Structure 1
Amino acid sequence: MRLVLIEGLPGTGKTTLAERLCALALQEGCASRWYLEEAADHPVHPHSLNAARLEADYPSRCLQGWRRFADEVRSDSTLNILEGSAFQSTVRFMMEQNRTDIDDYFGRFEGILSPLRPVFIYLRPEDAERHSRATAAHRGSDWTRKVAAYLEQTPYAHRHGLRGESGMHRFWANYAHLCDELMHGLTMRVTRITVEPGHDDWVLAEAVDAIQSEPYATCERNRE
């Protein structure tokens, strides 16, 4: 197994799950590493790409990053765990584009990654807008104001009249709906896990089962 992709709304536990999966793999003697969505050394979306997020060629530059990454790990036995990298780093910056362009991007994305047989784990709350409100309450007013102000300036928010905290919650609900539709269109295997507060251990167990049930899910054990 070379690649695990973890997606979900902010606050669904993507980072926690990535950390715990990596730790479990290392405990088993398997070479493993995980990447935070906004890590400076991210293998697909490094900080140098951030400035281009609203540029027309941003999707094509992301695909170039995925091609480089796929070429690098194709012969690497290390388990790579990427959180928020497939959707959150791209879809939310493409929401103002037409659906045909988004579908085209993900068709190309899947074509690049399918030879790696990735395990795609999708963390989904039952009610996206309610989850967004709970996340805002948990992370506090500073985080909420910062994210709401940022999203309010996006072309998508301008076009749909999304303003302030309520606009932020609506944005994430719309984003989740789009992700749901994209997930249904993928041909690669997707494991959807319904997330609820306090169920981190259950989510971890479901994710481990998804990885272990993949016939390709093998890793190179570290040698002393």
Structure 2
Amino acid sequence: MRLVLIEGLPGTGKTTLAERLCALALQEGCASRWYLEEAADHPVHPHSLNAARLEADYPSRCLQGWQRFADEVRSDSTLNILEGSAFQSTVRFMMEQNRTDIDDYFGRFEGILSPLRPVFIYLRPEDAERHSRATAAHRGSDWTRKVAAYLEQTPYAHRHGLRGESGMHRFWANYAHLCDELMHGLTTRVTRITVEPGHDDWVLAEAVDAIQSEPYATCERNRE
């Protein structure tokens, strides 16, 4: 297993988990590296590719990026940890544009990565819309206005009448349900962890346990 993919809504702790998993792997003597979703030199979707997210061939170019990445890491023993790369920078952009080929894209995406035996860690709050409101309060008014204004201009928002901050919260809730459906259809190993504020150590422990568990096990982890 050479690949861990961490997914979830903004504010679920993807970046924190990726960084801590990488540090823990290095402490245990395992070569490891992690990639920030927004990294300009991201190995799959650098800024130069994301700038073309409105183009018709954006999904195919993303798949080409994943194929190059898979070919490169197949012969490498390094543990690669990517956060927000499977959904946020691809599926979410496709959803914003009302694209109807998301299922086809995601099936091809899984086929490309399956030889690497990846592990999906899916950080999922119980109530996505409530989580979105809490994240907005935590990140502040500037972040909230910026994201809400961006989402309001998307074809998806126009189609569904999503406006302002309330529209942003509804968008993230709908996006979470789309992610739920895609995760449910995966044949790759998926661990869904129900996240709550202040439980980063527990999430880390659950993620480590999932990575070390039997191949292709699917489970859901909720804090007692």
TM range (shorter): over 0.9
C-alpha distance in 1 between matches for 2:193 and 2:221: 28
C-alpha distance in 1 between matches for 2:33 and 2:222: 13
* CA shift for structure 1 position 220: 29
Q: Deviations over 1:169-217 (max 9, x none)?
A: 0000000000000111111110000000011101000000011114599
* CA shift for structure 1 position 25: 0.5
Q: Cα 1:220–1:157, aligned 2, differ >3 Å: closer, same or farther?
A: closer
C-alpha distance in 2 between matches for 1:100 and 1:120: 24
C-alpha distance in 1 between matches for 2:7 and 2:70: 18
* CA shift for structure 1 position 218: 19
Q: Cα 1:204–1:64, aligned 2, differ >3 Å: closer, same or farther?
A: same
* CA shift for structure 1 position 159: 1.1
* CA shift for structure 1 position 42: 0.5
Q: Cα 1:6–1:89, aligned 2, differ >3 Å: closer, same or farther?
A: same
* CA shift for structure 1 position 103: 0.7
TM-score by length of 1: 0.94
Q: Deviations over 1:35-91 (max 9, x none)?
A: 011101110000111221111111001000000000000000000000000011111
Q: Cα 1:112–1:163, aligned 2, differ >3 Å: closer, same or farther?
A: same
* CA shift for structure 1 position 221: 29
Partner of 1:32: 32
C-alpha distance in 1 between matches for 2:165 and 2:132: 10
Q: Cα 1:222–1:35, aligned 2, differ >3 Å: closer, same or farther?
A: farther
Q: Deviations over 1:75-133 (max 9, x none)?
A: 00000000000011111111156675111001100000000000100000000000000
Q: Cα 1:216–1:157, aligned 2, differ >3 Å: closer, same or farther?
A: closer
Query: Relative contact order (alpha carbons < 8 A, sep ≥ 6): 1 or 2 greater?
Result: 1
Q: Is the 8 A contact 1:15 1:36 kept in 2?
A: yes
| Structure 2: gaps spanning 5 or more residues | none
Q: Cα 1:47–1:219, aligned 2, differ >3 Å: closer, same or farther?
A: farther
* CA shift for structure 1 position 29: 1.1
Q: Cα 1:160–1:213, aligned 2, differ >3 Å: closer, same or farther?
A: same
Q: Cα 1:97–1:151, aligned 2, differ >3 Å: closer, same or farther?
A: closer
Q: Cα 1:161–1:220, aligned 2, differ >3 Å: closer, same or farther?
A: closer
Partner of 2:91: 91
C-alpha distance in 2 between matches for 1:220 and 1:165: 31
C-alpha distance in 2 between matches for 1:132 and 1:107: 28
C-alpha distance in 2 between matches for 1:107 and 1:196: 30
